[in-house]
Amino acid sequence: MWTVTGLFSALGAIVYAELGVTIPRSGGEYVYILQTFGPLPAFLAFWITFVVIGSASCAANSLIFADYILRPIYMDCTTPSFVVRIVALLGILTLCFIHCFSVKWATKTAIIFTTCKVAALLIIVGFGLFYLGKGNVESFHNSFEDSETSPGALALAFYQGFWAFSGWNYLNFLTGEVKNPGRTLPIVIILSLTTVTLIYIFTNVAYLAVLSPAEVLASGEGSTAIAVTFATRSMGVVGLIMPALVGASVFGSINGEIFSISRLAFTAGEEGHMPAILSMVNIDRLTPIPSILAVVILAILFQMSDNILYLIELTGFAFSVISAMAVCSLLYIRRTNPQMNTSGFKLPIFFPVLYLIVDIAIGILTIYQEPIKSAISLGVMLFGIVVYAFGVLWKKKPRPLLSLIYHITITLQKVLKVVEQDTVSATLESDDHLKLHGNSLEVSYD
């Protein structure tokens, strides 16, 4: 399954690479669908990515982070759920502060914790190869015995594996900031996905070199800390650092999600699809504090769920919907406006079509296997139409409502010290400064 999900992720990544060079703007699927199919489908793409995929994924990762950090303390005991939530909350709030304070800090955080992730995986692979060399191959005999093989169960398992590779589309959120995307995007995506897939496959081989399939499954029931079980069994004293390393790697994943999804909210605010406050930046730190806070608040709400696997399946199903819309936009451009792609990087039509067929098939199987959960997920997604009608289509809002929105916006501007990005750029270029004037933040030309 890891090989299949890795190959499917690689397929999706190279298809997205063509999308990125065809429409070289930041914003990911939201921008592609906006330019191809118009505002309503684009808003739904934003709604699904922002509310469901990004926020739920942040919440799931924060709970996993907390579980790993707390595992050495509680050992074989069940970690109290309220303790997990408190640690998860502290983790997200810490990252919120870092992102609000400095973009440079957020970037350095990504580098540090990505290093921790690679180190943790390489240590696991190294010990696994050592045990394989000693002849520990019993777990590979009949390793699929008693496995669930129904199409629906395979679809749900696919989402859990696919989720581990999630993030390959986030580079498309920043395409506008990439130099020479026509050359850079395909190279970065292909190399990174190939490397990650190989590391994940070897990591799972390492697990089975030390643990039995039953122990691997048992480590995943009520706990995500399989690496801790592996470390305890195989590493001795070295295993004491494993929970910290794995926790750090998950912490880095949350960091990347907050960075990418907050920029998506920023772009939607600029397009008028979200409140204008989300497209504003802090005048001192030049960070998009409102959009960062929006992501963090939603993630905290999702943290109330005890079911991490459901959050993973929710994000997987939602991403199937959004990626299908994005690939349809590529096929539409290929048919109606092929000259848009001036980069020279163009895939055979077979690749996007294959990705779309598999993506839709997995979504249908998921609905068949989990109809109630799927209906809830679809309901949350389609609620975006109501939000769009109220927030975007309804132009003639009552004066009291407009006044309320105005005063809330002004109050948030004052509290967060934020203004529109163009205002900051103009001020920096003219060497003037910003100050409070009347009821709003304005540029002052002395």
Q: How confident is the model at residue 399 (pLDDT cuts 50, 70, 90)?
A: very high
Check pLDDT > 50 for residue 257: yes
How do residues 64-80 score in pLDDT, each as one tens digit? 899 888 887 877 677 88
Helix ranges restricted to H, 211-307: 213-220, 226-234, 242-270, 289-302
Check pLDDT > 90 for residue 369: no
* CA separation for the pair 237, 300 (Å, rounded): 35
Name the residue type at position 360. I
Question: Which 8-state DSSP code applies to residue 445?
Answer: -
Span 211-233, average pLDDT = 70
Check pLDDT > 50 for residue 443: no
Q: Which residues pair with 280 in a beta bridge?
A: 420
How do residues 307-342 score in pLDDT, each as one tens digit? 776 777 777 788 888 999 999 999 999 999 988 887
Q: How much is the pLDDT for 234?
A: 86
Check pLDDT > 80 for residue 141: no
* CA separation for the pair 262, 254 (Å, rounded): 12
Check pLDDT > 70 for residue 393: yes
- Using DSSP, state whether 303 is helix, strand or coil: coil
Q: How confident is the model at residue 226 (pLDDT cuts 50, 70, 90)?
A: confident
Check pLDDT > 50 for residue 345: yes
How do residues 409-426 score in pLDDT, each as one tens digit? 999 999 999 998 776 555
Q: How many CB atoms lie within 10 A of CB 177?
A: 10
8 A C-beta contact, residue 309 and residue 160: yes
* CA separation for the pair 192, 6 (Å, rounded): 11
Q: How much is the pLDDT for 282?
A: 93
Of 136, 148, 152, 179, the C-alpha closest to 20 is 179
pTM assigned to the model: 0.81
Exposed e or buried b for every residue in 210-235, given b needs 16+ CB within 10 A? bbebebbeebeeebbbbbbbbbbebb
Query: What is each CA distance from 42 to 2, 27, 273, in whole angstroms?
Result: 31, 11, 9
Q: How confident is the model at residue 439 (pLDDT cuts 50, 70, 90)?
A: very low
Q: How confident is the model at residue 53 (pLDDT cuts 50, 70, 90)?
A: confident
Q: How much is the pLDDT for 437?
A: 41
Cβ partners under 8 Å of residue 72, min gap 6: 228, 240, 243
Span 107-126, average pLDDT = 89
Span 373-382, average pLDDT = 86
Q: Which residues pair with 443 in a beta bridge?
A: 434
Average pLDDT, the chain: 83
Question: Which 8-state DSSP code applies to residue 285?
Answer: T
* CA separation for the pair 76, 228 (Å, rounded): 11
Tokens of 44: 């739904």
8 A C-beta contact, residue 27 and residue 173: yes
What phi, psi does 110 have (nearest 5°)?
-60, -45
Q: How much is the pLDDT for 4?
A: 83
Q: How much is the pLDDT for 105?
A: 92
Check the CA dihedral 364-365-368-371 and report its sign: negative
Of 307, 322, 302, the C-alpha closest to 32 is 322
Helix (H) or strand (E) holding 441: strand 440-444
* CA separation for the pair 365, 28 (Å, rounded): 26
User: Which domains are assigned to the chain?
Assistant: 2-395 (1.20.1740.10), 398-446 (no CATH)
Of 311, 330, 316, the C-alpha closest to 172 is 330
Name the residue type at position 27. G
Q: Which residues pair with 418 in a beta bridge?
A: 282
Check pLDDT > 60 for residue 286: yes
